Amino acid sequence: MIARLTAGLRGAGQAGIALLVAVATGLLTAAAFPPMNVAEAAYIFVVPALAWAAFGAPWRWYLPAVGVGSWAAWIVLIFWLRHVTPAGMVALSLVLALFPLAWLAAARWALPRMVEAPLGRRLAATLGLAGLWVVLEWIRSWLFTGFPWLPLAASQWERPLLLQSAAWTGAWGVSFVLIVFNLGLAAYFRRLEDYFRRRKNRFVPEFYLALLLLFLASFGFFRHSAGREAQEWLRVGLMQPNIPQDIKWEEASAPDILAVLTRVSQHLLPLEPDVILWPEAVTPYAVVGHPGMRHWVEETISGLGVPVVMGGITVEDREEGESLWRNAALLVRPDLGVAEPYYRKRHLVPFGEYVPLRRWLPWLEKFVPIGGDFTPGTEPVLLPIALADRTIMAGPLICYEDVFPRLARETVRAGAAVLVVVTNNAWFGEEGAAYQHAAHSVLRAVETRRPVLRCGNAGWSGWIDESGVIRHVLTDADGSIYFRGASVAEVWRDQRWRGVETFYVRFGDWFVGLGGVLVLLGYGALHGREPEARSAAGDSA
């Protein structure tokens, strides 16, 4: 009876710890990203779970706790998706939670084995766990067409201090450093327990490794900032029409939408922009394939007297009678009209722009009310913005294409001097989606060392420099990004990066491969080692 009572008390204690770990994991994970924007939370977001794992947390309590915490965090982070599909929001958040759950399960296996391991093995295991996080983030960018939304690095989008290593490693390196820091803190807390309970003082190499990597990553910011050679470069007009999504495709609303585009764009003319940006799919009819719409666009932009980079639907007819619908970005010149070639979106949104497996699941439908599926483009296309004394090659990305590092890399390798993102986040309400989306553009700016210009239907519109510093955001008098308006941004370039490809642009996701090697080395360092006796006892409690 006493044994059963003791076991019950232990179970109650583990249940309380599990609840605390679940709450801490969910709260800290959600807090690290927009809209909460507590970037420092990313340095400790899994420390409670890791510390518990290091003390031999029972698997039957540990996995549900970290799983529920991760799922709750993702529900909070993508809660805006309910405006389009509540069921999809719940299902997608569950899928996204599986990745941190898998990593935390690996940490639970590894950490008790690391406690009494030799110095070299502990460091190898620490780097291996960080490498595993990177590999899992990379897998998420490809699996089921890929959804690399909010990698851990995106938590630092307003903290460029840590982001500069992305020019070498991609955003993967930033995530790596943050995970090593979490592991280092957990190891330090584990050492404190040894000291207070057993007066056993021990060097904590994981913690000092974390500090070293943090210093090296931050050093790049000071080195990069010290040699900055800024030069005025381009005056960009940002036109934000804020067309409500529920009327965007209504034929009766078309005249009012076109009037808004004209009126808001004309407000920019006294500010003398070199080019004006219009957001994604901005016109109510296809710009190419609808003669009346194309005529209106070309006539309106001719009246503005300023070239416009715009997002628009195009319908291309094939000889066999088939029509291809495209989500495109086009350059429209006041003197020549729609320029050829134009950019065709390469990475389409499942269930938004096409239905996966339509042949086998014909009952599935898109939430975008346009007949048929869109057809993806196959390559980057640059849009030449001709100024009086030079031509600037703009590399467009449409909608959430800027969350895929590969697409930005390919665009810069094709010769883009600036990345231009046109998007429409009005689908998702006035919550965190637009800010979360903009965070990815910050990562792309640092990875490629190219300015990123963004224009959204209802926000976030602005520009980001090559260091990932946000230089201009279109807001109203109350500081909101969700409004109808326009402004001109003074864009400058750091002359050190003109025509230069970063290490990451040249060599791509090499750091993911290194992460895979570190995983194998870390596993090899711990394979065959049993966790310390106290951890095993914890499992049997």
Side-chain-side CA neighbours of 488 within 13 Å: the count stands at: 15
pLDDT of residue 204: 86
pLDDT band at 6, cuts 50/70/90? very low
Residue 460: asked if its preceding bond is cis (omega within 30°), the reply is yes
Q: Which of 126-140, 166-180, 205-219 has the lowest mean pLDDT?
A: 205-219
pLDDT band at 538, cuts 50/70/90? very low
- Look at residue 273 and tell me whether its pLDDT is greater than 60: yes
CATH numbers and ranges of domains, the chain: 2-226+509-540 (no CATH), 230-505 (3.60.110.10)
pLDDT of residue 9: 39
- Look at residue 329 and tell me whether its pLDDT is greater than 50: yes
DSSP E strands in 113-254: the ranges are: 230-240
Q: Which amino acid, residue 523?
A: Y
Q: Which of 209-213, 365-369, 390-394, 514-518 has the lowest mean pLDDT?
A: 365-369
Give the pLDDT confidence of 434-473 residue by residue, as tens digits.
Answer: 999 999 999 999 999 999 999 999 989 999 999 999 999 9
- Look at residue 371 and tell me whether its pLDDT is greater than 90: no
Mean pLDDT for the stretch of residues 325-333: 96
pLDDT of residue 343: 97
The better pLDDT of the pair 474, 7 is held by 474
Give the pLDDT confidence of 218-259 residue by residue, as tens digits.
Answer: 876 666 665 567 888 999 999 999 999 888 888 899 999 999
CB under 8 Å to 313, separation ≥6 — which residues? 281, 283, 285, 286, 287, 289, 325, 326, 327, 328, 370
Got the DSSP string for 355-375?
Answer: -TTTTT-TT---SS-SSS-B-
What is the maximum span of the chain, computed from C-alpha positions, in angstroms?
91
Q: Of 456, 466, 498, 451, give the one whose Cα is nearest residue 235.
A: 451
Q: What separation, in Å, do the N-terminal and C-terminal C-alpha atoms of the chain show?
A: 15
- Look at residue 536 and tell me whether its pLDDT is greater than 50: no
Instruction: Choose from 179-183, 230-234, 247-251, 370-374 the range with maximum mean pLDDT.
Output: 179-183
- Look at residue 275 and tell me whether its pLDDT is greater than 50: yes
Dihedral sign of CA atoms 342, 346, 347, 349 in order: positive
State how far the alpha carbon of 456 is from the alpha carbons of 5, 47, 249, 278, 332, in Å.
61, 37, 17, 8, 18
Q: pLDDT exceeding 70 applies to what percent of the chain?
A: 89
Q: Do the beta carbons of residue 130 and residue 171 sit within 8 Å?
A: no
- Look at residue 401 and tell me whether its pLDDT is greater than 50: yes
Q: Which of 229-238, 314-323, 397-406 has the lowest mean pLDDT?
A: 314-323
Mean pLDDT for the stretch of residues 74-83: 95
pLDDT of residue 352: 75
Mean pLDDT in the chain?
90
The better pLDDT of the pair 78, 528 is held by 78
Strand 230-240 to strand 275-277: parallel, antiparallel, or no bridges (unpaired)?
A: parallel
CB under 8 Å to 432, separation ≥6 — which residues? 33, 34, 35, 77, 79, 80
pLDDT band at 13, cuts 50/70/90? confident
Cα–Cα distance, 174 to 133 (Å, whole number): 11
- Look at residue 426 and tell me whether its pLDDT is greater than 90: no
Long-range contacts of 327-330 (CB under 8 A, 24+ apart): 327/280, 327/281, 327/353, 327/374, 327/398, 327/399, 328/287, 328/288, 328/398, 329/383, 329/396, 329/397, 329/398, 329/420, 329/422, 330/287, 330/288, 330/383
- Look at residue 182 and tell me whether its pLDDT is greater than 90: yes
State how far the alpha carbon of 516 is from the alpha carbons of 5, 100, 105, 197, 520, in Å.
46, 17, 17, 37, 7
- Look at residue 358 and tell me whether its pLDDT is greater than 70: no
Give the pLDDT confidence of 134-146 residue by residue, as tens digits.
Answer: 999 999 999 888 9
